[in-house]
Structure 1
Amino acid sequence: MSSITMAMVDAAYGATAAQARPHDTDPFQPGDFVVYPTHGVGKVDRVGSEEIAGHTLDFIYISFEENRMTLRVPISHARSSGLRKLATPQAMDAVLRILAGRPRVSRLMWAKRAQEFLAKINSGDLKMLAEVVRDLHTSAGGAGPSFSQRNLFELALDRLAGEFAGVAQIDKQAALDKLTQTLEGARKAEAARTDPEPATTGA
Structure 2
Amino acid sequence: MTKTRKNDFRPDDFVVYPAHGVGKILSIEEQEVAGFKLELFVIYFEKDKMTLRVPTNKAVESGLRPLATPEVVAHAMKTLRGKARIKKAMWSRRAQEYEQKINSGDLIAIAEVVRDLHRADDQREQSYSERQLYEAARERLTREIAAVAGRDEVSAAKEIDDVLFGRAA
**TM > 0.5 fold call:** yes
Residue 126 of structure 1 deviates from its aligned partner by 1.0
1:91 to 65, 72, 81: 72
Question: How many angstroms apart in 2 are the aligned matches of 1:140 and 1:151?
Answer: 17
Q: Secondary structure at the match of 1:96?
A: helix
Q: What is the 5 A alignment of 1:156-175? A: 156-175=137-156
Decide whether the 8 Å contact of 1:139 with 1:149 is kept in 2. Answer: no
1:107 aligned residue: 88
Unaligned runs of 5+ in 2: none
Alignment length, in residue pairs? Answer: 166
Report % sequence identity: 45
> How far does the alpha carbon of each residue in 1:41-74 deviate from its partner, in whole angstroms, 9 at most, with x for none?
1000011211111110111000011221100001
> How far does the alpha carbon of each residue in 1:140-181 deviate from its partner, in whole angstroms, 9 at most, with x for none?
983321000111001000000000000111100111110011
Give the partner amino acid of 1:137.
Answer: H
2:131 aligned residue: 150
The answer to whether structure 1 residue 68 and structure 2 residue 42 are counterparts is no
Structure of greater Rg: 1
Check 1:169–1:99 CA distance in 2 against 1; reply closer, same or farther (3 A cut).
same
The answer to whether structure 1 residue 129 and structure 2 residue 110 are counterparts is yes
1:4 aligned residue: none
Check 1:140–1:45 CA distance in 2 against 1; reply closer, same or farther (3 A cut).
farther
Q: Secondary structure at the match of 1:162?
A: helix
1:40 to 6, 18, 21: 21
Q: Secondary structure at the match of 1:44?
A: strand
Question: How many angstroms apart in 1 are the aligned matches of 2:42 and 2:141?
Answer: 22
Give the partner amino acid of 1:75.
Answer: T
CA RMSD of superposed structures (Å): 1.7
Structure 1 range deviating more: 138-147 or 97-106: 138-147
Decide whether the 8 Å contact of 2:42 with 2:53 is kept in 1. Answer: yes
Decide whether the 8 Å contact of 2:5 with 2:60 is kept in 1. Answer: no
Give the partner amino acid of 1:36.
Answer: Y
Q: Secondary structure at the match of 2:37?
A: strand
Unaligned runs of 5+ in 1: 1-22, 189-203
1:178 aligned residue: 159
Check 1:141–1:59 CA distance in 2 against 1; reply closer, same or farther (3 A cut).
farther
Residue 94 of structure 1 deviates from its aligned partner by 0.6
Question: How many angstroms apart in 1 are the aligned matches of 2:40 and 2:6?
Answer: 18
1:8 aligned residue: none
Q: Secondary structure at the match of 2:75?
A: helix
2:9 aligned residue: 28
TM-score, scaled relative to structure 1 = 0.78
Give the partner amino acid of 1:179.
Answer: I
For CA contacts below 8 A with separation 6 or more, give which structure has more relative contact order.
2
